Amino acid sequence: MTEVRNREYEGTSDKERLITGLEDIMLRAPLDGADLGAAIAEHRPDLLIVDINADGALTRAEASGLPWVLAMPSLLPLREPGIPPYSLGLKPANGPLGRVQDGLLWPMVERAFGKSLLPWLYPLRKTSGLSPLRSPLDLWAEPNLVLG
């Protein structure tokens, strides 16, 4: 059995814990993708429900052609009017200044997520025959439904 040890707690700063936590999740991705592939072959389900932190399984679900649901037990990082940029802890902004703030910060947040996630996701998607994502936010556009 292959294991990926959780190292997040070993970080000495918030940034280090964030980076290590992401690496831990992405190192597990080939394993959870293979597990989902085996489960699909064995059980032939009608529908898949996949956790947001199982990137290999998300990729396998999308490539399977089966209807699939993304389970995300947190706020959705969707760029919509009135929704503050994800992960910054901002309140919804009001008025013209708030729209300017969101308009300036959302692209920065999206680039930061992309820089962190897309290099990991590219080989997973390529192996599964899927096209690369232009934005990490595209992950939430692929499932048939998102449960939040």
3 domain-assigned: no
Give the confidence band of 4 by pLDDT, cuts at 50, 70, 90: confident
- Answer yes or no: is pLDDT of 1 > 60: no
1 domain-assigned: no
39 domain-assigned: yes
Distance in angstroms (rounded) separating the CA atoms of residues 15 and 77: 20
Residues 4 and 16: beta-carbon distance below 8 Å: no
Q: Look up residue 140 and give its two tokens.
A: 């939430």
Q: How many domains does the chain have?
A: 1
Residues 137 and 110: beta-carbon distance below 8 Å: yes
Q: Whole-model pTM?
A: 0.84
Full residue range of the structural domain in which residue 115 is found = 8-147
Give the confidence band of 29 by pLDDT, cuts at 50, 70, 90: very high
73 domain-assigned: yes
Q: How many other CB atoms are there within 10 angstroms of residue 14's CB atom?
A: 8
Distance in angstroms (rounded) separating the CA atoms of residues 112 and 79: 14
Coil, strand or helix at 107: helix
Top pLDDT among 49 and 20 is at: 49
82 domain-assigned: yes
Q: How far apart are the first and last CA of the chain?
A: 32
Give the pLDDT mean for 36-42.
Answer: 98
55 domain-assigned: yes
